[in-house]
């Protein structure tokens, strides 16, 4: 039986095409389609229901130091209101999930991928000591408001959000509804993620969607937006068999931190380089190069595979991300993707494909 | 689904087929198919002169999300392809029943008797 988010009725009212995703019925797109939604989010503002994602809270004095031992990142150094993107690693150095950790007044709030919710929560509970209190938050919905108009809209409802820098969060009150707002998202645009009690979810969503600049965006455009932004998607660029170094997530590491699962292998790769790494690919034709497509070099040697591939609405051409042998992964290198018995020329590209527009307050 | 053109035949794989003079069968995809696929971004058409069997895979339509094979509704020879679609695949999203992909000269128009009429296809996609 598929679950529904608190916005299920609103999605249907908005003309959503619903599909099963990670155990939920979710909107893949609305009436105008993925390309329209994608471009609208890049030029105005998009509203995303991401309530299928898992939210939990870890409390206790040792919460940060214990969580830090499950990730390669600096969790103990998180200031109140600060967020961190990181990964939970397994003992082989693979990735259990990519998560967002926020230090707020009540503890460490963690957002995990919908499909990984059960295994993540079990992993956390089995590794955290009884000095930590673990609380699942299934009664909370999660939205994202993304795009160049997001800040202006958010400030209207919650003036305090004007002072948020990328990856900072605050508690706020929107028309009397208490929520947690962070300046974050997964599109490459400036924007916010809003956690709110299920009971008020529909009311808050309608408030935001009533704004002229805002249109609802489905999972389809969420995927093309994050792909253009060069961001990893669990199950594609990130799996239990891919390390954070291979995925190009070195930037989440805390210097000198070596007490996390799989550290031996991961730190060795960090020092000597991984044999394969994540890269971008731009396709020199209109033919989409999809996930699973084998990449060969000009000697017809297989050197990797595509992890995500789609059409880029912003660039008007197909783009992809791939895991490739490091020796072949230099930007500009011409390789070939196998698509239906054909070999399609692709060029290794730097990521992201579209520059990020995250908002960072200038420190005075 | 009452707006299915009555003059067309329909396949289980969501192609429509229209019989014209000289055993020519014009082929496209149904509105249901374009709706399911979403925004189309790439079309791979069959080569002119190619001989195909009924039910043989002979073209590909790709949307943002996925690639989908097209199958010939009849045995015969590909005698025309709609090259304009290569640059404007979104035409199919706009008007699926007036946007054809290719034409076959059917070896036997009786092949089309195997296909569904509008009411049967309507029933199939409702289930």
pLDDT attached to residue A364: 52
Cα–Cα distance for residue pair A301/A23, rounded to 1 Å: 39
Query: Which is more confidently placed, B2 or A280?
Result: A280
Nearest residue, CB atoms, B39 vs list A35, A290, A340: A35
Mean pLDDT of B18-30: 97
By CB neighbour count within 10 A (0-12 exposed, 13-18 middle, 19+ buried), where does A183 fall?
Answer: buried
3-state SS of B27-82 is EEECHHHHHHHCCEEEEECCCCCCEECCCCEEEEEEECCCEEEEECCCCEEEEEEC
Query: What SS3 class is residue A126?
Result: helix
A36 contacts in chain B (CB < 8 Å): 39
Tell me the binding residues of A for substrate: 193
ipTM: 0.90
What pLDDT score was predicted for residue B108? 94
Contact at CB, B42 and A288, closer than 8 angstroms: yes
* Residues shown for chain B: 127
CB-based contact A35 B64, cutoff 8 Å: yes
pLDDT value for A284: 85
| Closest among A46, A313, A234, A292 to B64, alpha carbons compared | A313
CA B33, A41, A238 angle in degrees (round to 5)?
75
Nearest CA in chain A to B86: A286
**pLDDT tens per residue, range A340-357:** 989 999 999 999 999 999
* Enclosing H/E stretch for A306: strand A302-312
| Interchain CB distance below 8 Å, B42 and A29 | no
Q: Is the pLDDT of residue B2 over 70?
A: no
The model's pTM: 0.96
Q: Which domains does chain A have, with CATH numbers?
A: 3-48+139-228 (3.30.1360.120), 276-349 (2.40.30.110)
Q: Per residue in A161-174, pLDDT tens?
A: 999 999 999 999 99
């Amino acid at each position: 039986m598929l679950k529904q988010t608190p916005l299920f009725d609103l999605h249907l009212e908005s003309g959503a095409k619903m599909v099963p995703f990670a155990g939920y019925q979710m909107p893949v797109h609305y009436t105008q389609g993925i390309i329209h939604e994608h471009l609208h989010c890049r030029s105005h503002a998009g509203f995303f229901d991401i309530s299928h994602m898992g939210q939990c809270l870890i409390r206790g004095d040792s919460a940060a130091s214990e969580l830090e031992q499950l990730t390669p990142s600096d969790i103990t150094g998180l200031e109140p209101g600060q967020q961190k993107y990181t990964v939970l690693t397994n003992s082989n150095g693979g990735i259990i999930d990519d998560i967002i950790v926020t230090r707020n007044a009540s503890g460490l709030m963690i957002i995990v991928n919908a499909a990984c919710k059960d295994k993540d929560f079990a992993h956390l509970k089995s590794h955290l000591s009884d000095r930590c209190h673990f609380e699942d938050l299934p009664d909370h919905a999660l939205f994202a408001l993304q795009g160049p108009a997001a800040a202006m809209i958010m400030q209207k409802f919650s003036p305090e959000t004007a002072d948020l820098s990328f990856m900072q969060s605050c508690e706020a009150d929107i028309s009397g509804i208490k929520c947690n707002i962070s300046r974050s998202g997964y599109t490459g645009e400036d924007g916010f993620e809003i956690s709110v009690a299920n009971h008020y979810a529909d009311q808050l969503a309608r408030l935001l969607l009533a704004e002229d600049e805002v249109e609802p965006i489905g999972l389809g455009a969420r995927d093309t937006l994050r792909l253009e932004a060069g961001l990893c998607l669990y199950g594609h660029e990130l799996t239990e068999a891919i390390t954070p170094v291979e995925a190009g997530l070195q930037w989440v590491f805390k210097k000198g931190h070596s007490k996390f699962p799989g550290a031996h292998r991961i730190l060795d790769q960090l020092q000597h380089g991984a044999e394969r790494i994540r890269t971008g690919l731009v396709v020199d034709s209109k033919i989409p190069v999809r996930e699973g497509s084998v990449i060969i070099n000009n000697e017809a040697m297989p050197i990797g595979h595509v992890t995500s591939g789609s059409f880029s609405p912003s660039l008007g051409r197909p783009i992809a991300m791939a895991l490739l042998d490091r020796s072949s992964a230099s930007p500009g290198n011409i390789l070939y993707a196998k698509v239906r018995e054909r070999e399609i020329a692709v060029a290794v590209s730097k990521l992201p494909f579209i520059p990020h527009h995250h908002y960072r307050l200038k420190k005075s | 689904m009452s707006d299915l053109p009555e003059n067309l035949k329909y396949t289980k794989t969501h192609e429509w087929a229209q019989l014209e003079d000289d055993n020519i069968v014009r082929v496209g995809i149904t509105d249901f198919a374009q709706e399911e696929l979403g925004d189309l971004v790439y079309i791979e058409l069959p080569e002119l002169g190619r001989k195909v069997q009924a039910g043989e895979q002979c073209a590909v339509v790709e949307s943002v999300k996925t690639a989908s094979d097209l199958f010939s509704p009849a045995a015969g020879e590909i005698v025309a392809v709609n090259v304009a679609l290569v640059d404007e695949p979104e035409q199919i999203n706009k008007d699926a029943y007036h946007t054809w992909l290719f034409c076959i000269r059917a070896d036997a128009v009786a092949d089309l008797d195997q296909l569904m009429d509008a009411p049967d296809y309507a029933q199939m996609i409702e289930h």
